[in-house]
Structure 1
Amino acid sequence: MTISNLKLGVDVISAHNLLPKDGQGSSNPFVELCFDGQKYQSTIKEKDLNPVWNESFYFNISDPSILQSLNLDAYIYNNIKATQSKSFLGRVSISGTSFVPYSDAVVLHYPLEKRGIFSHVRGELGLKVYITDDPSIKSSTPVRDSVQSARHTFHTLPKRDNSEQPKHTPEASLPHHETKYVVNEMKAPEQIPPKLVHTHSGSSAQPVDFALKETSPFLGGGRVVGGRVIRTDKNSSGTYDLVEKMHFLFVRVVKARELPTMDVTGSLDPYVEVKIGNYKGVTKHIEKQQNPVWNVVFAFSKERMQASVLEVVVKDKDLVKDDYVGFVRFDLNEIPMRVPPDSPLAPEWYRLEDKKGQKIKGELMLAVWVGTQADEAFPDAWHSDAATHIDSSAASSALIRSKVYHAPRLWYVRVNVVEAQDLVPTENTRFPDAYVKAQIGNQVMRTKPVQARNFNPLWNEDLFFVAAEPFEDHLFLTVEDRVAPGKDEIIGRVIIPLSMVEKRADDRIIHSRWFNLEKPVIVDVDQLKKEKFSSKLHLRVCLDGGYHVLDESTHYSSDLRPTAKQLWKPPIGILELGILNAVGLHPMKTHDGKGTSDTYCVAKYGHKWVRSRTIVDNLFPKYNEQYTWEVFDPATVLTVGVFDNTQLGGEKGSNGTKDVKIGKVRIRISTLETGRVYTHSYPLLVLHPTGVKKMGELHLALRFSCTSLPNMLYLYSRPLLPKMHYVRPFTVMQLDMLRHQAVNIVATRLGRAEPPLRKEVVEYMSDVDSHLWSMRRSKANFFRLMSVFSGLFAIGKWFADICTWKNPITTVLVHLLYLMLVSFPELILPTIFLYMFLIGIWNFRYRPRYPPHMNTKLSQAEAIHPDELDEEFDTFPTSRNPDLVRMRYDRLRSVAGRIQTVVGDIATQGERVQSLLSWRDPRATAIFVTLCLVAALVLYVTPFQVIGALAGIYMMRHPRFRYRLPSVPVNFFRRLPARTDSML
């Protein structure tokens, strides 16, 4: 945006349910806006508690650097005509951190706030607040008298539609803004003093080879001791203090001039070779150009260099043998060192020399320096440790370089198909069997058929889609007539660009619209003529930004914020990830007769995906790349995956052109202590058709720094998902469908980048197959459930031992404790809470000192049957032979039958409880009602302590007073009727 034209736009839309103030059950409301010393006012709406203004105002922004500290105040007043004064109806205060560009702005309905403790307000005010730099927009006329101005006529601009949106440059030109209703200023990251804490490798029930291992690497800022980086390098800036500092020789080849011609025709097709030892990087050749421009950076790892001379050679591309033009030579001992924040080294012109060392015509512009991975040129450079030793062109480096991706913001498209009017079928002798088909890109949905046949069908059905910004697709709606089975004819269609659809961030009602249907009539093969007729379609269409678009499994997510940026809250912390190295990787392909891998890492958190550079032909790759993310909710998960790059040519892996998954790690942010550096070696575990395999180990460094502890603690009291998920919830089927659509859209968008993040990578990182059924997952979840209830089972077994007097001394002590609690019932709850407090304090010393990781025992991946593994890896639909499918189907029926029996038994017990007072069994209900009356009389005249003491002692009575037959209450309960008799 242009700072000089920067303005704050405020669209005053409407108000709702205002407080009457004129003594006649109504009010004369108007809105007064105050910002940065400027004051504007809307028109007055006479006797209206639900006024609609649709007026726009524009404020000058005097100093954009302090925009976040300014507030926009909107006051609603009632105009009192008799006294030419005003009375307060409510106010809204919006912080500068919630101002967003016009393209991101949506209408929000803010609840009105009180001005004082004795004021009484109610209602909401709808505003659209945004920043614009459109030079054609002029500031509004300011208010001159805050009391008399109620009668003043102000200059307002009509509300523009989406086609007149001002053009904005990317948001990076403005200060970064986050939105919330009550804004807390973001504090600087905590400066935590070094503190030595005893750590240990986490114990696990799974095999040692699959367990997490703690490491103590020497990182860029110093040695990791006790979860802190003890800084030993005083020259370290701290920017890359979670990775090992690596030195690279950078060579920037900018351009050349006045190169001599080499061919007989007088032409030259120059390219540059950068050689040091056995490593060689090559630029692309430029045809017939004596003044070529390349602007390519080469990076050579210093730890692998065994030469002392760098040669930069200019050659001429030829069909048979490339001609030698000239070279520039550098002594490595004389190359300068550069460490950010030092300024980048300016390139210089170097005169070319021939093979004899004589100066020749032509110059080459170069910059040569030694730096680290903190250098700005590092991400886009061609890397020697990411290429083969023989030859590698800079043109192919796009497939191996590191990259930061930003996933698109996803919106739910809600299409409410209400009805159609005056449909004209192809056959006038019948009523149309009409339905509506909606399509956005590859997403297609249809309404249900209408039972009542007429020319004005009514559906009133919601269809949901997922769309990504920028909105490139259109919403296609076609009304079709089912003439015969498998034969549908189009009655009419409507095309709506998604860029014109209204956005909303809350649950306000979207007004419906009638759309004229257009009927395409074929004129000839190459042309379609649109014929308008009287048929119409009634719709409500909106882009819902108040939801969190679920692109991952429902059990975890890396971002719980809504789509609309205006609902975002300030970050509560910073997550730093250092991808150090991998060891012991399994070879994924063969090269020159030996097994090897070309690996890269992908990390995903929130909307930001990162990809490390590909390390070619190395089973022990060193990445040493560091990335950071803003954290908005601690209940989120970071995912890091390792993949083998199969796009580099040569011999492919067994999976063809798909990048092969090597393993992944998931880490929940809430399990990390604030400020501590976690350095661990994570096993890369993958489930194969032959069983679980360890594919290697990935060394990571993690640190979560909290920027606002009160905000983070406050989040624990907030709902996990945005408000719209609870106000307008989706069904389970809708969530599965929308999640699948979201993953496909993200994979398509990220696949367009350079280098592309391939679809199989996005799907593996997003766990798209987590909802598919497998015997292994079913058993794992069953044992998880048993583990959760194991505490209750243990308590039940302990109480059974008490009742059977298995240990008489313990039983007597329990009797005494029980009688004491019954005598003093006010001590029961304090005793329970004190007991839980003591357990929590006792468990503090045994708290986990390591992040969670993949567990093979928990996943039931160690002892899984081979046939169950084969069933899990079967395609959907199945590709196995019918006999095997029949056997597996019978096994599934057996397991499902047991589950069905358990669910039925639980339902039976609940129905028996309901039948106690339903008179379904009149004799049983009469007995129960009589017993209730007797119990009420007895409890009325008997102290509670006596009843409680007798009941407890009866439950814990000695075995000699017990009978093997069931008790009277149990016999009575089992005789009660359930609804099983009515089931077929």
Structure 2
Amino acid sequence: MGRKLLVDVCSAHNLMPKDGQGSSSAYCIVDFDGQRRRTKVKSRDLNPVWNERLEFSISDPNNMGMEALEVSVHSERKDGKKDSFLGRVKILGSSFVKQGEEAIVSYPLEKRGIFSHIKGELRLKVWYQEEGQASAKAKEEKKEPGGAATVSVSQKKEETFTPKKDERKDEQRQQSAATVVPSAEYSLKDTAPNLGRLHGGKGTAYDLVEKMQYLFVRVVKAKGLAAKDANGSSDPYVKMKLGEGKPAQTTIIQNSLNPEWNQTFAFGKDKIQGPTLEITVWDKDKGNRDDFLGSVTFELSEIPTRVPPDSPLAPTWYRLEEKKGESRVKGEVMLAVWWGTQADEAFSEAWQSDTGGGHIHTRSKVYLSPKLWYLRVNVIEAQDLPSFDKSRYPEVSVRVQLGIQAMKTKVAANRTSSPFWNQDLLFVAAEPFEEQLLLTVEDRVGPNKEEVVGTVRIPLNKTERRVDARQVSSRWYNLEKNGDKPFRGRIHLRVCFDGGYHVMDESTNHISDVRPTGKQLWKPPLGVLELGILSGKGLLPMKTKDGRGTIDAYCVAKYGQKWVRTRTIADSFNPKWQEQYTWEVHDPCTVITIGVFDNHHLQADSIAEKAAGLKDSRIGKVRIRLSTLDSGRVYTNSYPLLMLQQSGVKKMGEIELAVRFSCTSYLNIMQIYFKPPLPKMHYRHPLEVTQLESLRYAAIRIVSMRLSRSEPPLRQEIVQYMLDTDSNLFSIRRSKVNYYRIMGVFSGVIAVTKWFDDISKWKNPVTTVLVHILFLILVWYPELILPTLFLYMFLIGAWHYRFRPRSPPSMDAKLSQAEQVDPDELDEEFDTVPTSKGHDIVKARYERLRMVASKIQTVLGDLASQGERLNALLSWRDPRATAIFITFCLVAAIVLYVTPFRVVAVLIGIYALRHPRFRDRLPAVPLNFFRRLPSLADRIL
């Protein structure tokens, strides 16, 4: 019976970048018993996933233990040079396991020589099987799964790989489950758009967008038109037609022979289908054919070009001409016709051919978030309250409400008619201050029953504002009840606006502005951020129109208080916006967010009843941290738009952006890195984490309500998506993300520990000898320790410079754990609060959550136990252990006093680096002693 070796090349992690752009195009070469196999190339991915199975025949099964399997990882180069070596793994045949015992193992990549710089690890699964077993296993897999043990989805993902002959079928299965998508599909792409230097009004230059030619037609007015109606007047309007395309028209002016329109139209050059522009004037008739009033024709080649900052083209009177078969034409029309670009100041308010018309919901606009303040209400005391029921002690509290925010003080400790609280309550208020502060003094007369003692309303317009921690003056306010004037007692308050804090309306991880509210504390800007929103590519249809899929896409960008919204490009899967915007930058360690949405409100005027329930659909968003950008450099990239749906992660298309961050002074930028990220008040008088989170949600609600009242509105679903309202909601997927992030943080420490373990075990004798020499030099000359350490970090940083990222970061599906995610976990993440699922599903999810929480609980418990054991060394909780330890300390103090430090350091170092033949496999004595120390875990119920 023959035997064969099977190797599943699963994935690699944290490979060394070798392509000069901070990445590598990795593939594996597997050698065994004179046979060689090769995997596919994973382009520009430092964490490639292959999931390929390779088969090798074993020529002599009896001598299999003498063979070795060698897997080498290389990076493909396209410049004609030799492919770069990324590391290798060598597995002895004696460690091969038989079928049924296989498991995925992570192997650290080894160097080929002393001076090789290799890092990362390779995940493999290696086993052998008899040829007869292979056919038996294939038959077994065809059986019905009834009666078989249940295997979790995560186990299937970790242990099952499809042979190469079934790759196509497996790929279809994975796409239907939306669990695996090619990494290249999600990667950032470099682009080379033809950026022009366009000039807008007042000499403004737009150099981060491509030039788009438009034919502008400004229809001002007409005079002396012919009367076509029985009342001796006309209802004139103007049509503009370019070739065979659908004509555009002005509004209809009722009963006028001298109408005024003053409307501007912009026709994209790519949509012009003829050599002439025909402008006709018509009289609108109800139910009949409209009457012709005259026309004017322009040759497109004769139309002048306007280049800002030239003044606008002056409109001119043109005599209306007759048309063949028409008569009674008279009058003139005032027009201005010119060629221009999207930088023309008339473009933003013009009727635009690529937006489907001049609908208000298609126009580009700039919005400003309302200025937010923290309102501090210090409820001190009350006096002369009405008499209470003498059979009980009063339980008086104060309820404070500002708009949709409401908070309540504790019940006063002194239960008298003069209660005392001295409690601070914090609210978010927005300028202009529309709401009044409402305070209600309440007495709890029974369970869930409270009686209003009195109320007071305080307008905020004249409330004192402070930018530091100084004490503001307090004031007594008279209480009223139901608007009556009779005296109901009085309440002592201290109310002020705290302008020294920054009011957060974003997630702290993606904050775009850190300035305090008080403008007196603002510093001059450090630079300018310029964003060119160029185009979209391959957007997916989001709705149906006339039986076909369509999309009306627009972009929203948010940085600081300034929001921008591009125009909506109607019915295009590859929209071209070509719009440029500018922001002042006060801190480079901030993030700009760009989102893409589908406009569902183009017909809102005609279906007003239905429009109220419509919501614009999310297509995806991009975040760019300014500190990752080189000053003055223009970055042009195409970013993938990724959306996590209940079926898994899905690419909705791409957005092409041009970004440039320019700083006024490089020295000022460097100084920012040594200052606290938030205003001083956040550190001198910090707010609680829970308090900050509730205030953030209040700020988001206020901002979304205020922006939704603009015209056109920036709707609440857009604002909430851009501000990451649900960033703190629980999901298993996010828990996994954070777990792997923590593991990534400690990967460096783990790698150093593993490296030292290899050195101390003499796995590479040459390296170990060099470490011995370096150790002795540093012990003999301890003044070289710190210089050597810092020099080493300098060299490592300088070496990594050549592998630095060359493009801004984009959304990462792999980091988000969205490529391989269980469908039930996605269903749980998209579930409503409270849940809409059945009892059985909720119970299963609760059990899974308990399993995850139990692991976290175990890890935290182990960390706590180690700290408690350290405390137990000197606490005499274990008298014998403490006695041993303090005796050791006494002896060590004497020995160290009489023995030169260099000798002690050399002895400790030589002992730690001793050869394996002098080592015992049992744990060291100090470790045994430490593990025997008591912890508080013994006392937990």
TM-score normalised by L of structure 1: 0.74
Deviation of 1:445 (Å): 1.6
Residue 547 of structure 1 pairs with residue 501 of structure 2: yes
Which structure 2 residues correspond to residues 148-159 of structure 1 after superposition, within 5 A? none
Tell me what 2:368 maps to: 406
Provide the rounded CA distance (Å) in 1 between the counterparts of 2:739 and 2:353: 50
Between 336-345 and 202-211, the greater mean CA deviation after superposition: 202-211
Deviation of 1:549 (Å): 1.3
Deviation of 1:325 (Å): 5.6
User: For residues 285 and 428 of structure 1, do their structure 2 counterparts lie closer, same or farther at Cα, with a shift above 3 Å needed?
Assistant: farther
Provide the rounded CA distance (Å) in 2 between the counterparts of 1:489 and 1:256: 71
Aligned partner letter, 1:572: L
The alignment partner of 1:501 has SS state of: coil
User: For residues 351 and 545 of structure 1, do their structure 2 counterparts lie closer, same or farther at Cα, with a shift above 3 Å needed?
Assistant: farther
User: For residues 298 and 970 of structure 1, do their structure 2 counterparts lie closer, same or farther at Cα, with a shift above 3 Å needed?
Assistant: same
**CA deviation vs aligned residue, 1:164-206 (integer Å, no higher than 9, x gap):** xxxxxxxxxxxxxxxxxxxxxxxxxxxxxxxxxx979993347
CA contact (8 A) 2:294 2:329 kept: no
Tell me what 2:308 maps to: 340
Aligned partner letter, 1:946: V
Residue 219 of structure 1 pairs with residue 195 of structure 2: yes
**CA deviation vs aligned residue, 1:401-460 (integer Å, no higher than 9, x gap):** 111111111111111222222222675654432221111111122222334422222222
Aligned partner letter, 2:887: T
Deviation of 1:607 (Å): 1.2
Tell me what 2:561 maps to: 607
Deviation of 1:292 (Å): 4.2
Aligned partner letter, 1:976: L
User: For residues 517 and 238 of structure 1, do their structure 2 counterparts lie closer, same or farther at Cα, with a shift above 3 Å needed?
Assistant: closer
Tell me what 2:420 maps to: 458
Tell me what 1:836 maps to: 793
Provide the rounded CA distance (Å) in 1 between the counterparts of 2:612 and 2:488: 56
Residue 826 of structure 1 pairs with residue 754 of structure 2: no
Provide the rounded CA distance (Å) in 2 between the counterparts of 1:982 and 1:679: 61
Aligned partner letter, 2:639: Y
Aligned partner letter, 1:217: P
Between 858-867 and 649-658, the greater mean CA deviation after superposition: 649-658
Question: Which of the residues 601, 619, 632 maps onto 2:586?
Answer: 632
Provide the rounded CA distance (Å) in 1 between the counterparts of 2:752 and 2:392: 71
Deviation of 1:257 (Å): 4.3
Which structure 2 residues correspond to residues 835-874 of structure 1 after superposition, within 5 A? 835-874=792-831
CA contact (8 A) 1:352 1:359 kept: no
Deviation of 1:237 (Å): 7.3
Deviation of 1:708 (Å): 1.6
Provide the rounded CA distance (Å) in 1 between the counterparts of 2:478 and 2:834: 41
Tell me what 1:531 maps to: 485
CA RMSD of aligned residues (A): 2.7
Deviation of 1:400 (Å): 0.4
Provide the rounded CA distance (Å) in 1 between the counterparts of 2:219 and 2:751: 72
CA contact (8 A) 1:220 1:236 kept: no
CA contact (8 A) 1:200 1:214 kept: no
Question: Which of the residues 694, 711, 715 maps onto 1:737?
Answer: 694
Provide the rounded CA distance (Å) in 1 between the counterparts of 2:375 and 2:354: 46
CA contact (8 A) 2:615 2:717 kept: yes
Provide the rounded CA distance (Å) in 2 between the counterparts of 1:895 and 1:352: 80
Question: Which of the residues 760, 764, 767 maps onto 2:717?
Answer: 760
Deviation of 1:572 (Å): 1.4
Question: Which of the residues 455, 468, 481 maps onto 2:443?
Answer: 481
Tell me what 1:379 maps to: 348
Between 491-500 and 422-431, the greater mean CA deviation after superposition: 422-431
**CA deviation vs aligned residue, 1:895-932 (integer Å, no higher than 9, x gap):** 11110111111111111212222233333323322222
**CA deviation vs aligned residue, 1:623-666 (integer Å, no higher than 9, x gap):** 11111111111101111111110111399999971101111111
Tell me what 2:409 maps to: 447
User: For residues 200 and 950 of structure 1, do their structure 2 counterparts lie closer, same or farther at Cα, with a shift above 3 Å needed?
Assistant: closer
Tell me what 1:958 maps to: 915
Which structure 2 residues correspond to residues 130-209 of structure 1 after superposition, within 5 A? 203-204=44-45, 205=47, 207-209=183-185
The alignment partner of 2:670 has SS state of: helix
User: For residues 268 and 505 of structure 1, do their structure 2 counterparts lie closer, same or farther at Cα, with a shift above 3 Å needed?
Assistant: farther
The alignment partner of 2:484 has SS state of: strand
Question: Which of the residues 846, 853, 866 maps onto 1:896?
Answer: 853
Which structure 2 residues correspond to residues 86-101 of structure 1 after superposition, within 5 A? none
Deviation of 1:965 (Å): 3.2
Provide the rounded CA distance (Å) in 1 between the counterparts of 2:224 and 2:400: 61
**CA deviation vs aligned residue, 1:879-909 (integer Å, no higher than 9, x gap):** 1111101110111111111101111111111
CA contact (8 A) 2:731 2:828 kept: yes
Deviation of 1:613 (Å): 0.7
Aligned partner letter, 2:441: V
Question: Which of the residues 248, 251, 254 maps onto 1:281?
Answer: 248
**CA deviation vs aligned residue, 1:24-77 (integer Å, no higher than 9, x gap):** xxxxxxxxxxxxxxxxxxxxxxxxxxxxxxxxxxxxxxxxxxxxxxxxxxxxxx
Deviation of 1:288 (Å): 4.4
Aligned partner letter, 1:264: A
CA contact (8 A) 2:283 2:293 kept: no
Residue 248 of structure 1 pairs with residue 214 of structure 2: yes
Provide the rounded CA distance (Å) in 1 between the counterparts of 2:390 and 2:211: 79
User: For residues 721 and 590 of structure 1, do their structure 2 counterparts lie closer, same or farther at Cα, with a shift above 3 Å needed?
Assistant: same
Provide the rounded CA distance (Å) in 1 between the counterparts of 2:740 and 2:851: 18
Question: Which of the residues 676, 691, 695 maps onto 2:633?
Answer: 676
Deviation of 1:316 (Å): 4.2
Provide the rounded CA distance (Å) in 1 between the counterparts of 2:746 and 2:230: 87
Residue 982 of structure 1 pairs with residue 901 of structure 2: no
Residue 946 of structure 1 pairs with residue 903 of structure 2: yes
User: For residues 434 and 284 of structure 1, do their structure 2 counterparts lie closer, same or farther at Cα, with a shift above 3 Å needed?
Assistant: farther
Provide the rounded CA distance (Å) in 1 between the counterparts of 2:451 and 2:228: 68
Question: Which of the residues 533, 547, 556 maps onto 1:579?
Answer: 533
Aligned partner letter, 1:867: D
Q: Percent sequence identity over matched residues?
A: 60
Which structure 2 residues correspond to residues 383-398 of structure 1 after superposition, within 5 A? 383-387=352-356, 392=357, 394=358, 397-398=359-360
Tell me what 1:312 maps to: 279
Aligned partner letter, 1:378: F
**CA deviation vs aligned residue, 1:657-703 (integer Å, no higher than 9, x gap):** 11011111111111111111111111111111101111111111111
The alignment partner of 1:721 has SS state of: coil
Which structure 2 residues correspond to residues 915-954 of structure 1 after superposition, within 5 A? 915-954=872-911
User: For residues 691 and 533 of structure 1, do their structure 2 counterparts lie closer, same or farther at Cα, with a shift above 3 Å needed?
Assistant: same
Provide the rounded CA distance (Å) in 1 between the counterparts of 2:694 and 2:716: 18
**CA deviation vs aligned residue, 1:142-168 (integer Å, no higher than 9, x gap):** xxxxxxxxxxxxxxxxxxxxxxxxxxx
Question: Which of the residues 494, 517, 523 maps onto 1:569?
Answer: 523
Tell me what 2:430 maps to: 468
The alignment partner of 1:863 has SS state of: coil
Aligned partner letter, 1:897: S
Tell me what 1:61 maps to: none
Question: Which of the residues 337, 340, 345 maps onto 1:368?
Answer: 337
**CA deviation vs aligned residue, 1:525-584 (integer Å, no higher than 9, x gap):** xxxx42231511121211112111111111121111111222111111111111111111
CA contact (8 A) 1:677 1:701 kept: yes
Residue 593 of structure 1 pairs with residue 572 of structure 2: no
Aligned partner letter, 2:380: V
Residue 263 of structure 1 pairs with residue 263 of structure 2: no
CA contact (8 A) 2:436 2:457 kept: yes
Deviation of 1:290 (Å): 4.8
Tell me what 2:863 maps to: 906
Provide the rounded CA distance (Å) in 2 between the counterparts of 1:199 and 1:260: 70
CA contact (8 A) 2:558 2:593 kept: yes
User: For residues 239 and 536 of structure 1, do their structure 2 counterparts lie closer, same or farther at Cα, with a shift above 3 Å needed?
Assistant: same
CA contact (8 A) 2:22 2:805 kept: no
Tell me what 1:519 maps to: 481
Aligned partner letter, 1:706: C
User: For residues 485 and 282 of structure 1, do their structure 2 counterparts lie closer, same or farther at Cα, with a shift above 3 Å needed?
Assistant: farther
CA contact (8 A) 1:404 1:609 kept: yes
Deviation of 1:833 (Å): 0.5
Deviation of 1:973 (Å): 1.9
Tell me what 2:116 maps to: none
Q: Give 5+ residue unaligned stretches, structure 1.
A: 1-197, 223-232, 521-528
